[in-house]
Amino acid sequence: MKERKTEINIETYEVMAISRDGSLSRVWCAICSKQVVTISLGDAWLSALGTEAAQREMEAGRIHLIETVGGSALICLNSLIQI
């Protein structure tokens, strides 16, 4: 009797939706060497990573933290998406 083999492929996607009254800002990211869309540090904490994991990723340099002249802390959205 011939054996049958069944293969199941599962693809998953993650979506992060942030709804704010203001618009997204574009800021220069020195690590990416280009202008990028940024989100606030608070919004980054709300992402699927969670506070502790996001902090570890920033310390490792995988999430780019951008400090503005006004003292705001922003996260490079490109770096957040790539992890």
In this predicted model, what pLDDT tens digit does every residue of 3-13 receive, in sequence order? 888 888 887 76
pLDDT at 34 over 80: yes
The per-residue pLDDT for 31 is: 93
CB atoms within 10 A of CB 23: 7
Q: Kindly compute the dihedral angle of the four CA atoms of residues 38, 44, 49, 53, in this order, to the nearest 10 degrees.
A: 100
